[in-house]
Structure 1
Amino acid sequence: MINSFALDVLNPLVRGTNLERLQAREALLEILEGRVDGLLIASFLTGLTAKGETAEEMTGFIDAMIATATTFDIGPEAIDIVGTGGDQLHTVNISTMAALTVAGCGVVVAKHGNRAASSSVGSADVLEALGVRLDAPESVVRACVEGAGIGFMFAPTFHHALGYLTPIRRALAFRTIFNVLGPLANPALVRRSLIGVAQSHLLDPMAQVLSARAIEYGVLVNGDDGLDELSLGAPSSLRIVSAAGIEVRRLDGAHELGVVHDAASIRGAGIEHNVSVVRGFLAGEGGPVFDVVCANAALALMVAGRVDNLRDGFELAASSVREGRAHSTLERLVAISNS
């Protein structure tokens, strides 16, 4: 029971004291239920970021988010493809394009996302500009999954309390715990996930959270160049989470696929530019964006159990785009979400 948020939560944080799982759950419940002033929330987020979040704290926060969210079970085959954001590299929307590509391969995708908080253009921003309805309830998301192979869950629609936190996160302009929590709190309760992680030190605690929550199969990836994606400009570190435990692995995507592109080659800009990039990608335009998206889609196909290696996954993903299946996926998603 929290009597004073400042005394019981903030004071320990500023002294560098870690919260236990139950304490973390209760602290975030206080915030999500609207009982904490915005200034104290900003202090809480700043203190956590400065101290560094532990796996136990993060698990408690996820407990609170799931307890207060509108959740549903989309089925055992669905996967999510998502990134924490916060890498400050302002790339184009790699995970969003990868999600459409993977859905075009016949894999069910239940994508969870939000507007930009610490990046230029979030997944929700670009999908909305492409015509996708953001505030779709569960029934519409299910219809999208059934008819398009992909559904998008806008975080504030399912995690209702997050909406009023967006201005605070945007004002802070640095990665906060919510960049990390969102990818771990998919309201469709997916059992398989590919999660890009911007800060390498978060790979282990995030993997521990997935393990504690008994995910069937999850891969967390961080590029040595700072990308919260599988990089083609530098080797990447992976954490593979399954019933067997947590495996640490290194993957050099550029070496595996024979293509090299640095982070600058996939840099985004404003919403108009990023939307144009998505449309160009779906039209099959070659280049760095095509290769990086297909590489990440390949890793997602491995998560889904469709392929055993990156090269086979890349070819399957590239075919999804070149044959127009990824583009058709977007068209159906737009149509069904607005019907």
Structure 2
Amino acid sequence: MNLITPAEHPFAQFVRILGKGKRGARNMTREEAREAMGMLLDGEVEDTQLGAFLMLLRHKEENAEELAGFTDAFRQRNLAPKIAVDLDWPSYAGKKRHLPWYLLAAKALADSGLRILMHGGGAHTAGRLYSEQLLELLDIPLCQDWDQVAMALDERQLAFIPLGAWAPQLQRMIDLRNTLGLRSPIHSLARILNPLGARCGLQSIFHPGYQAEHRQASQLLGDHAIVIKGEGGEIEVNPDAICHLYGTTAGQAWDEEWPALSALRHLKPESLDAHHLVEVWRGEAEDAYGQLAVSATMALALRGLGMDRDQAFAEAQRIWANRKISN
């Protein structure tokens, strides 16, 4: 008879920290989060542990220390080369109420010479319109590795790379969304990673309360970032609402509130026709909501690069007027 007690799996401690009942469960420290994510990224965790960990973290809600620790683990393993980038632009939510006007903002900013890296996690939720689905239509380079990114940034100043091309372990976790029935915290984590160390990271966090946590995580990491509650969860300023900017620069947190650009709310379109984006880009159609959203989103990015609000809006208007409508 074998009476030897089986050894506990090394990752079990992290599941226990999060799941040990109402009184026993607690937040992880930054160091614990770093170790836990390191094991996840290195494939040292059983699938059952992965699912349990992600859902317990989702239920508890991740905090700034944990986000910083997770990012530490990724950056220790990040294989991306040194490529100069001005803006890190995560795109993971998809849009369902309005068209993704942020894509026109990014295109216009890139036309002006700013180097922008966009990345996303695929069309994981039905009924939403994702950046990846519109890249060809809008002539935005889709890259599958960092060499292609470097070339696209040199030639076009804009590149989109899927998460699975540079962090397949994280993409697998995102893909569990339809298995687990809920989004995991990886959707939030991907927004903060800034794999190429861009001058400014833009982050959109939809759920109230999370914006301050993300700002604090970026502050702990020493990053320059602006976090907003973007329209639909994407980095897009809603011109019909007040926009609160949660910023951090050189370790110092700052806040700024931008008033709504429209006195009345625009009507939501009955359907989303992506070709309308092309028509507005080429000047063949107008869209009152869309053009305000583009202008404000461009101003947000320019604010992140050091301009004040008035300068940023004036420069955004100049850049839009001088965009290359042939592409």
Distance 1:149 1:197, change over 3 A: same
**Number of aligned pairs?**
314
Q: Say which one has the larger Rg.
A: 2
What is the alpha-carbon distance in structure 2 between the residues aligned to residue 159 and residue 323 of structure 1?
36
Contact 1:115 1:121 in 2 (8 A): no
Alignment partner of 1:13 is 2:18: yes
For residues 108 and 226 of structure 1, the distance between their equivalents in structure 2, rounded to whole angstroms, comes to 23
Amino acid at match of 2:236: E
Structure with the bigger percentage of helix:
1
1:335 match: none
1:240 and 1:30 map into 2 onto residues whose CA distance is: 31
Could you tell me which of 146, 150, 157 is aligned with 1:149? 157
Indicate the SS of the match to 1:93.
Answer: coil
Please list every run of 5 or more consecutive structure 1 residues that lacks an aligned counterpart in the other structure: 332-339
**AA partner of residue 317 (structure 1):** A
C-alpha distance in structure 2 between counterparts of 1:218 and 1:126, whole Å: 26
Counterpart mapping for 1:228-267 below 5 A: 229-243=236-250, 245-254=252-261, 258=262, 260-262=264-266, 265=268
Question: Under a length normalisation based on structure 1, what TM-score does the superposition of the two structures give?
Answer: 0.80
CA distance in 1, matches of 2:303, 2:192: 19
Task: Give the structure 2 partner of residue 286 of structure 1.
Answer: 286
CA drift at 1:132: 5.0
Cα deviation, residue 39, structure 1: 3.8
Tell me what 2:309 maps to.
Answer: 309
Deviation at 1:148, TM superposition (A): 0.8
Q: Shift of residue 55 of structure 1? A: 0.6
Distance 1:43 1:7 in 2: 10
1:161 maps to what in 2? 169
Match of 2:51 in 1: 42
With the length of structure 2 as denominator, give the TM-score of the two structures: 0.83
Q: How many angstroms apart in 1 are the aligned matches of 2:116 and 2:235?
A: 19
Greater RCO structure (CA 8 Å; 6+ sep): 1
Alpha-carbon shift at residue 235 of structure 1 (Å)? 1.1
Name the CA shift for 1:102/1:253 in 2 (closer, same or farther; >3 Å).
Answer: farther
Equivalent of 1:72 in 73, 76, 81: 81
Give me the CA root mean square deviation. Answer: 3.0
Q: Secondary structure at the match of 1:106?
A: coil
Which residue identity does 1:210 align to in structure 2?
Answer: S
Alpha-carbon separation, structure 2, partners of 1:4 and 1:143: 44
Question: What is the percentage of aligned positions where both structures have the same residue?
Answer: 21
**Which residue in 2 is equivalent to 1:336?**
none
How far residue 145 of structure 1 moved from its aligned partner, in angstroms, is 1.0
Gaps of 5+ in 2: 1-6
Contact 1:31–1:41, Cα closer than 8 Å, also in 2: yes
The one of 211, 228, 235 equivalent to 1:203 is 211
Query: 2:141·2:158 contact (CA, 8 Å) conserved in 1?
Result: no
How far off is 1:70 after superposition? 2.3
Aligned counterpart, 1:27: 36
The answer to whether 1:177 aligns with 2:176 is no
Distance 1:267 1:4, change over 3 A: farther
Q: Is the 8 A contact 2:240 2:264 kept in 1?
A: yes
Name the SS of the counterpart of 1:184 in structure 2.
coil
What is the match of residue 186 of structure 1? 194
Give SS of 1:220's match.
strand
What SS class does the counterpart of residue 74 from structure 1 fall into? coil
